Chains A and B, each alone.
Chain A
Amino acid sequence: MSANTGRHFDSVAVGESLGPHEIVIEKPRARAFAAACGMDSGRFHDDEAARAEGLPGMIIPGNFSLGLLSKLVTDWLGAGPGRLTRIGTTYRAIVLPERRLTLHGFVTHIEREARSVEIDVWIENEEAERLVIGTASVAFPPTD
């Protein structure tokens, strides 16, 4: 994901796309995230432990997915004055490491008076299934 120099409120338009960005989360990275968060469950660290729970293999923690989508938004904002004020996600399917994931977003609504922007965000797998969906809110200061 390439950084930008900063997005300003007046340049944002409904329909504008965030991404798509492709990403593969390797197992060591997923384990490191889980460990840093104190998530000790075997499903986040070990394929065998995950399979014992009926999963196809170790999975990426939900908060990691949330973080990826947050980063999609903050990268889009860049160094500008806007800030991510809220993000909410629904986990519709497990997210597996070592698979190609695609992060998507669309600006869907702009409140001119409040200088706020609503964004749809989601993570797709290679079969275009939406694994994690959500919405984010971005606020801009009175003048930027």
Chain B
Amino acid sequence: MATIIDLHSHSEASDDSRAPVGAYLNWIKLRRAERPLDGIVLTEHRQYNRAADYRALEDQFDVMVLRASEVETDYGHMLVFGVNDDILRRFDFSNVRLPAQEVIDGVAELGGVVVPCHPGRPTVGLCEHYETKPPLENVTAVELLNGGSRKGENERAAALVDRYGYRAIGGSDSHMVSLIGLCATRFDADVRTIDELVRELKSGRYEPVDFRPNRPRPRRAAPEMAGT
């Protein structure tokens, strides 16, 4: 059974978001026809929200809530999935200049997986860093579709994926309730826990999915039929 998860979102636990988790889940419930999400991952900035317990909200809205982090490195921002005590002991997530290669390798060694996010974004994305520094090794995947991207950013990410053969995920990067789930990732497998998510991210059996109402349409070989 496939699972669709928004892998990148920020709740009010992040310093630049005012979105309560319950409001996100309620919005998903209301918009399920347009954005058929099974779950979201909260990727709070520079922290891991260890104490948060969303089980009651998950039950209320029938939406899975997993937790991860968005950290800042010398190659831009990166999502860390499978955060555990060992990872938190080794890396100070509040450090805004974490060494990217050490984070990628260290997190993998300790059971997690790191995914560079919004790689096409100026300053905080991988593409710009690759212009002046050697490419990183052992990159599992990058965020190809980011719901907060400006014009051209996802296209730069696509060129990066093509050039380096990276796998691709999608996430909304939502900081506002109504933007949750605009981009997400469809996994071939059933994913219900963070361990299963990490396992599947390493497997490569997934693809980014785009639920934006004005998303770029793939070029068509034939003219559209009237009424379509």
A residues with a Cβ closer than 8 A to B are 14-15, 88, 90, 92-93, 106, 108-109, 118, 120, 122, 127-129, 133, 135
A118 contact set on B, CB distance < 8 A: 18, 23, 177
A108 contact set on B, CB distance < 8 A: 19, 23, 27, 176-178
6 cross-chain pairs, A with B, having the tightest CB-CB distances, nearest first = A108-B177, A128-B214, A109-B23, A120-B178, A106-B178, A120-B176
B23 contact set on A, CB distance < 8 A: 14, 108-109, 118
Q: Is the interface of B mostly helix, strand, loop or mixed?
A: loop
Chain B's nearest CB lies how many Å from the CB of A8? 21
* Separation of A108 and B23 alpha carbons in the complex (Å): 7
* Separation of A14 and B25 alpha carbons in the complex (Å): 12
A14 contact set on B, CB distance < 8 A: 23, 26-27, 30
Question: Chain B: how many interface residues by the 8 Å CB criterion?
Answer: 19
B175 contact set on A, CB distance < 8 A: 90, 133
Q: A120–B177 contact, CB under 8 A?
A: yes
Q: Which residue of A lies closest to B180 (CB)?
A: A108
* Separation of A120 and B18 alpha carbons in the complex (Å): 10
A106 contact set on B, CB distance < 8 A: 177-178
* Separation of A129 and B179 alpha carbons in the complex (Å): 13
B residues with a Cβ closer than 8 A to A are 16, 18-20, 22-23, 26-27, 30-31, 150-151, 175-179, 213-214
A92 contact set on B, CB distance < 8 A: 150
Q: B179–A109 contact, CB under 8 A?
A: no
Known: A15-B30, A88-B18. 14 other contacts (CB 8 A): A14-B23, A14-B26, A14-B27, A15-B31, A108-B23, A108-B178, A109-B22, A118-B18, A118-B177, A120-B177, A120-B179, A122-B176, A128-B213, A135-B176
Chain B's nearest CB lies how many Å from the CB of A43? 20
Residue picked from A106, A108, A122, A127, most chain B C-beta under 10 Å: A108
Q: A127–B151 contact, CB under 8 A?
A: yes
Q: Which residue of A lies closest to B22 (CB)?
A: A109
Across the interface, B150 reaches (CB within 8 A) one of A15, A109, A129, A135, namely: A129
* Separation of A133 and B19 alpha carbons in the complex (Å): 13
Q: Which residue of B lies closest to A15 (CB)?
A: B30
Residue picked from A92, A93, A135, most chain B C-beta under 10 Å: A135
* Separation of A109 and B18 alpha carbons in the complex (Å): 11
B150 contact set on A, CB distance < 8 A: 92-93, 129
B177 contact set on A, CB distance < 8 A: 106, 108-109, 118, 120
B22 contact set on A, CB distance < 8 A: 109
B26 contact set on A, CB distance < 8 A: 14, 109
Chain B's nearest CB lies how many Å from the CB of A100? 14
Q: B18–A135 contact, CB under 8 A?
A: yes
B178 contact set on A, CB distance < 8 A: 106, 108, 120
* Separation of A88 and B179 alpha carbons in the complex (Å): 16
